[in-house]
Amino acid sequence: MVGQQGHDLNCLTIAELEAHAKQRMDKQTRDYYNEGADSGSTLLENCQAYSKYRIRPRVLRDISLIDTSCPLFGGRSPIPLGVAPTAMQCLAHPEGEVATARACRKAGVVMGLSSFATSTVEDVAAASGQNPRVLQLYLFEEREHSRKLIRRAKAAGYKAVFLTVDTPMLGRRNLEIRNQFKLPKPYKIANFADDSSSAAAMTVMDGSTSDTENREEKTSSSAPGYHDGKKRTPPSGPISFHSHAPNPTLCWDRDIDWLKKECAPEMEVWVKGIATAEDAILAVHHNVDGIVVSNHGGRQLNGALATLDALPEVVEAVQKKIPVHVDGGIRHGTDVFKALALGADFVWIGRPVLWGLSYKGQEGVELCLKLLRDEFTLCMGLAGTVSIPEISKDYLVKIDKAGFTSRL
């Protein structure tokens, strides 16, 4: 039902969007998308961190013209918000990442594409048109796989590579283990389809396979890398997330320089997964183009800092030498405002987009972006700000456990 001003009267908040998605997703998909590592405390704290801050609104300011735009990748974004890379979006809707790309294009919002997407970099580029897009990258131990994907992204006009740096090992996701999660037919890990057999890439989620597929799986299964105490043996077999995405060999001195050379000059190199001042300083030292403060949506190290709590020390360490973005836990436009007030230049949203995709495909993603944009614009106006540079920590107070507030 659509009401006045284009509202979906069945879905007026991100929380309601999540509820709709919960009804539409099957259990395995819902568990895969929504789970955090171990007990899920970091996943929960990513959201709760925003409730520790309150906004200090200013009044009697002319807010008749509010500019929500900000600089991004040499151009301007209409809002300081992008769609974060999330894997296997065809689980949420048959059109998957292509539907998300079309929604981002309509809204003018940048899209991040996961290496482990169910749509190719080329198909997403075609759906995006001139709208900016970035590629999230897991740098594999066997570099040629990554090199091929980087070249394809460059040819398809991607603006940047976001190197995920918080997965030297995979976090423990208990529901994923219990459900024996596998990508169902007919979907593939599209960007590596040529490297993946049907058994490795298309096994149904309940684990049921034909005798032929069982034979294929035995002969073409993937195996993670290992160290025997003397030398490292890289992953083998068809590319899969569990075998190839974690890379314990990654290091600053060797891999960042290699990646920058591979991406130059067309694409910027960002590091996604920074959570400390020390690593932020190293990122600047190694001449990356930007940082995303992230803990992988609470799916890696449970007990790690919420991203909003990690943000201030990263911002302080960087000293505006490179942009600092943040993701994790953003569920309302006021959350975007709080992140910017704490020093972020831009934010990324993940799960809410998947919920929108599950709700109504492209239209659902458009709704997700509209809700956040409208809430953020309203927050800016009611706080007494009319441009992104005006938003600062002067507009926030922090609440302690006793309920007392303190200026930042």
Instruction: Give the residue numbers annotated as catalytic, written as ranges.
Output: 296
Any residues with CB less than 8 A from the CB of 384 and at least 6 apart, and which?
Answer: 57, 58, 59, 61, 63
3-state secondary structure of 67: strand
Residue 57: asked if its preceding bond is cis (omega within 30°), the reply is: no
Report yes or no: 399 and 54 within 8 Å, Cβ to Cβ.
yes
Nearest C-alpha neighbor of 236 from the set 140, 138, 137, 115: 140
The amino acid occupying position 67 is: D
Per DSSP, which regions of 16-120 are E strands? 53-55, 70-72, 75-77, 81-83, 111-113
Tokens 């490297």, residue located: 195
Burial class of residue 231, CB neighbours in 10 A (0-12, 13-18, 19+): exposed
Tokens 């389809």, residue located: 193
Q: State the pairing for strand pair 290-293/75-77.
A: unpaired
With b for 16 or more beta-carbon neighbours within 10 A and e for fewer, the 94-114 pattern comes to ebbbbbbbbbbbebbbbbbbb
Report yes or no: 392 and 57 within 8 Å, Cβ to Cβ.
no
Nearest C-alpha neighbor of 128 from the set 150, 158, 91: 158
CA distance 149 to 192: 9
CA distance 119 to 126: 11
